[in-house]
Amino acid sequence: MTKGLLAILASVLLIAGFGCQNDSTPPSSALPEQGIDLNSPTGGLSTSNEAPAFGEPGKFAVLSNEKCVDDPYGDDMDCDDSLRARGAKLYEFRAIWGRLAEMRDSTLANPCPLDWSGTLHMDGGVIVIEKTIAFEADDSISRVDSSTISWVSNTGPGVDGIHVKLVVPSDSSFCGGCTPMLELSTGPYSRTFTLDELFALNMVSPVDTCGNAMSITSVLEPLGCPHGQLMGAWELLPSDSLTPADSLETGGTVLGVLRGVWFARGGLIRGHVKGVFGLNSAGESVFFGKYIDLTGRFMGIVRGTYASKTPPVALDGGNGRGGDKHRELKRDRGRFAGEWIDASVNVQGRLKGRWISSETGKGYFHGIWGMRCDDGCDVDNGVDIDDDKDCGDDD
């Protein structure tokens, strides 16, 4: 995606700049609502309904930059339950690439243009194209055969991406008895994934010192259990606007804000999330966010813990560990994991993911969620949020 779309993305997933503050209290626009309490089971967030998109549709305008693709192969793969009944495995796979943390900034002195054109090949299966993400007029996606797709994509700065469904039949004769593998190939990043790795994958892999990175999530679709993905902003507040530990009535420090989009199966947009992260009075790194549907109806609160990793790290050019591309990368990033609760604080499901931020505090998160179900297919044996199959992604 080139600079033309950055004017839109400037107001999208990431929180608008907060400016400098002369006191120690975060600007009111930074917090999702009053009464934040990082020691509370709900983070102090209310269970009331909200205006759609929290009354800020412009800040979620990235929704209009995702376009559904009318893939003929999708017509043959719509009966998911029937396919699973015959032993097929279905995966939701979403990849986003470019300057993830700085996607809203069109004024960067060095936009770091990068050609991400490439292919995705499912050896032993079928790929169904479901959505393109932030593709511009010069970007395109096409089909090579039932198991292979290709695209033309350039970023600088900005991001592009794809959302696809992977269908792996139970009969290995589909590929002459092969072991199913997914092969992703682009100029800056290439990697092969096993089915075990695709089971519950979330990863962010930097590819250069300029901020370009590859972000991937994948989940095995559990039968009868809602599941999906989420993505958005993970942004530090300016250091001179951070809340001191004694400024919240119950203690704690608000370090930043999160704002994102909630996706269901097929990459369908189902709602929005807005919240905070920081330290509670015990010094634990925690996050809380309010989840609403597209009408603004309260759907729950997400909560959990997060951790960060301090650079330097290996730049990942693919195959897991970055090869000989070890360099200094002054870019904070880490993991988050938690649960989704309803108004009565009952656990509805779980979630986990990755986040990355730039030196200026701008940031991005991407993760997966799975709902707890009563039929034995919950997040533990369905989406399997607890089973960390992150596959040496950005370590």
Q: What does the pLDDT look like over 20-79, one tens digit per residue?
A: 222 333 444 467 777 899 999 999 999 999 999 999 887 776 544 788 898 888 766 656
Alpha carbon distance 300, 127 (integer Å): 33
Distance of CA 393 to the CA centre of its chain: 14
Supply the pLDDT for residue 316.
Answer: 55
Tokens of 364: 């991005």
353-380: average pLDDT: 75
Tokens of 9: 């993305």
Alpha carbon distance 337, 322 (integer Å): 25
266-295, pLDDT tens digit by residue? 888 899 999 999 999 999 999 999 999 999
Supply the pLDDT for residue 307.
Answer: 92
What phi and psi values does residue 9 have, to the nearest 5 degrees?
-65, -20
Least confident piece of the model among 134-148, 221-235, 344-358 = 221-235
Supply the pLDDT for residue 241.
Answer: 56
3-state secondary structure the chain: CCHHHHHHHCCCCCCCCCCCCCCCCCCHHHCCCCCCCCCCCCCCCCCCCCCHHHHCHHHHHHHHHEEECCCHHHHHCCCHHHHHHCCCEEEEEEEEEEECCCCCCCCCCCCCCEECCEEEEEECCEEEEEEEECCCCCCEEEEEECCEEEEECEECCCEEEEEEEEEECCCHHHHCCCCCEEEEEECCCEEEEEHHHHCEEEEEEECCCCCEEEEEEEEECCCCCCEEEEEEEEEECCHHHCCCCCCCCCCCEEEEEEEEEEECHHHCEEEEEEEEEEECCCCCEEEEEEEEECCCCEEEEEEEEEEEECCCEECCCECCCCCCCEECCCCCEEEEEEEEECCCCCEEEEEEEEEEECCCCCEEEEEEEEECCCCCCCCCCCCCCCCCCCCCCCC
Tokens of 51: 């205006």
pTM (two decimals): 0.77
What phi and psi values does residue 362 have, to the nearest 5 degrees?
-70, 145
Cβ 260 vs Cβ 233: under 8 Å: yes
125-137, pLDDT tens digit by residue? 999 999 999 999 9
Positive or negative torsion for Cα 39, 42, 45, 46: negative
Q: How far is CA 368 from CA 53, 69, 218, in A?
A: 20, 22, 8
Supply the pLDDT for residue 10.
Answer: 32
Q: Is the peptide bond before 311 cis (omega within 30 degrees of 0)?
A: no
Cβ 78 vs Cβ 167: under 8 Å: no
